[in-house]
A and B are shown apart, each in its own frame.
Chain A
Amino acid sequence: MSVLVYVENAEGKFKKSTFEAVSYAKEVADKLNTNLVAISIGNVADATLADLGKYGANKVLFVSNEKLKTFVNQAYASIIASAAKTEDAKVVVLSASFSGKGLAPRIAVKLEAGLVDGAVELPEMTDGKFNVKKNAFSGKAFAHVELTSDRKIISLVPNSYKVVEKPVTAEITAFESTAAESDFQVMVREIVRASDKVSLPDAELVVSAGRGLKGPENWGMIEELANLLGAATACSKPVSDAGWRPHEEHVGQTGIAVSPNLYIAIGISGAIQHLAGVSSSKVIVVINKDAEAPFFKVADYGIVGDAFEVVPKLIEAIRKFKEAA
């Protein structure tokens, strides 16, 4: 028996959300008194693979060949499912990243395993039961899901579990790809990554703005504030609907749900649909000129004031703080 974690890489590097998944899976493995096995697909250097031992991976399987350099959903799912069988994994953990969300359901079907997508806490394992808490109603609630299958699959929301170091020496082993020819029907033509931008779904800090900014030409100060903090930029639905900002920045019930350590909302009134997408944020700061804006009711810190006056002062204050640090 074992616990298996899929360790997703981006251009050969593991991201923080991958280490979160490893730490989460290690905790599950410890509770089940078993080993943690990691599986990596794609080109990752041996030293980078060995690093996974720092977070408790007892064994690291790797599959690396030219055809698997880019993400091929079907092929990756085949490999992870066969690793789960070979290692007799009772629980398979993935990050609920964009790719993870496409992989987990296919693995679940292959293994006839119950799946919880978007877990936010460790499973509760008492009296032979296996319960996992997940987001539901797009951030307006949580559901406790009981998995009754023999094997169980969990995908973990980025930023909802901390990275914990539990050093062991990881055994690094090559794993034979079990992907069939029919698993390679799709072809990746192009990958575009904005290298200077912080990715929103797994950002620790988010600076978000709404219609209070009056127009897309005023986003300069929002980007400046975000850059200064190392934060991702986000926006409300009316802003992305109006085409002021791209859709992938839309946070809310029908956009992206985020769970950063800090969410700064500027000129956003706080409609119920927007609040749903930010309710898992650890700290919320609201800056709005309307003291009656509903967003203040769910905020930790609030400033009533005109964004065009407050934000430049805030930028100045953060700059001074950074210089002093």
Chain B
Amino acid sequence: MKVLVCISNVPDTTTKITFTDNNTQFNTAGVQYIINPYDEIALARAIELCEGGNGTVTVVNVGEATTEPTIRKALAIGADDAIRINAAPRDAYFVAKQIAKIAQEGSYDMILTGRESIDYNGSQVAAMVGEFLNIPSISIVKKITVDGETVVIEREIEGGKEVISTPMPFISSCAEGVAEPKIPNMRGIMSARTKPLSVVEPIEIAKLAQVTAYETPAARGNVKMIDAADPAKLVEALHSEAKVI
């Protein structure tokens, strides 16, 4: 089985988000980058499914040379090889088109990624790749098990879950529950340096969307403190002042 895992390079979850150039650019000063947490659990599941000689895991990232430490981390965690598409990830359509090309050339059986990146929160790439390749895409999944030629997947729905079976190849975007993130061991870290990482140039496509500006959420007013002995005052405030109950 050949598995392709799409990873994105994102600011660490503790990052305080600020912008520069009149709120048009993300301020990268002092920011630590990590594998997108959802992609990391997709990678962990891919490695689990390929354990014991069951298959190989390739990671793919659309990014400039600065993302290589993140790609090496994925190799240290246990991916077999990596491909970097040498371009800044412009928008989801662009990224999906690049990944679809790699996926087609490599004839992978399974393509996994995270449910969304924690920076632009597009949650578009997986289903777009599915459409470009005309294969099933199952978004926001919590469980993936392989049963011979069939793959059984649980996907989240409002207030419950749906159990689906799909043939291979397919693409899924992973949410919490799929696997626990893996911490690289010393052997993994050592071997990551010599695992193959190939760099390919992007294909050009028309631009359909672009970010023109950012803003940060408006600050809230001062907190109103209520005496712990009298929560009835809170109920009263929520009813007549905030009007939410």
Contacts and interface: CB of A to CB of B under 8 A. Distances in A.
A10 B158 contact: yes
Interface stretch (A21-29, A34-42, A195-203, A209-217): A195-203
A314 B245 contact: no
A198 B159 contact: yes
B215 to A, nearest CB: 5
A143 B214 contact: yes
Contact of A106 (B14, B137, B236): B137
B53 interface: no
B217 A141 contact: yes
B156 interface: yes
A193 B160 contact: yes
B119, B152, B164, B175, most chain A CB atoms within 10 A = B164
Given A106-B127, A250-B176, A262-B245, A283 B234 contact: no
Q: Is the interface of B mostly helix, strand, loop or mixed?
A: mixed
27 contacts: A70-B162, A98-B140, A105-B92, A105-B131, A108-B208, A113-B208, A115-B93, A137-B120, A143-B214, A144-B211, A144-B213, A145-B209, A145-B210, A146-B211, A149-B208, A149-B209, A186-B165, A187-B164, A191-B161, A194-B160, A205-B245, A248-B156, A272-B16, A279-B217, A301-B224, A317-B234, A321-B235
A285 B162 contact: no
A301 B121 contact: no
B224 A141 contact: no
A190 interface: yes
A85 interface: no
Interface in A99-144: 99, 101-106, 108-110, 112-118, 131, 134-144
A141 B216 contact: yes
Interface stretch (B72-80, B188-196, B225-233): B225-233
Contacts of B19: 141
A45 B165 CA distance: 29
Nearest to B231: A314
Nearest to A193: B160
Interface in A290-321: 296-306, 309-310, 313-314, 316-318, 320-321
A273 B14 contact: yes
Contact of A247 (B122, B175, B234): B175
B84 interface: no
Interface residues of A, number: 100
B86 interface: no
B69 interface: no
Interface stretch (A58-66, A86-94, A167-175, A253-261): A253-261
A15 interface: yes
Interface in A238-272: 240, 247-248, 250, 253-255, 261-262, 272
Interface in A140-160: 140-149
A113 B124 CA distance: 12
Given A114-B208, A137-B119, A186-B138, A247 B93 contact: no
B166 A136 contact: no
Contacts of A192: 160-163
A83 interface: no
A286 B220 CA distance: 14
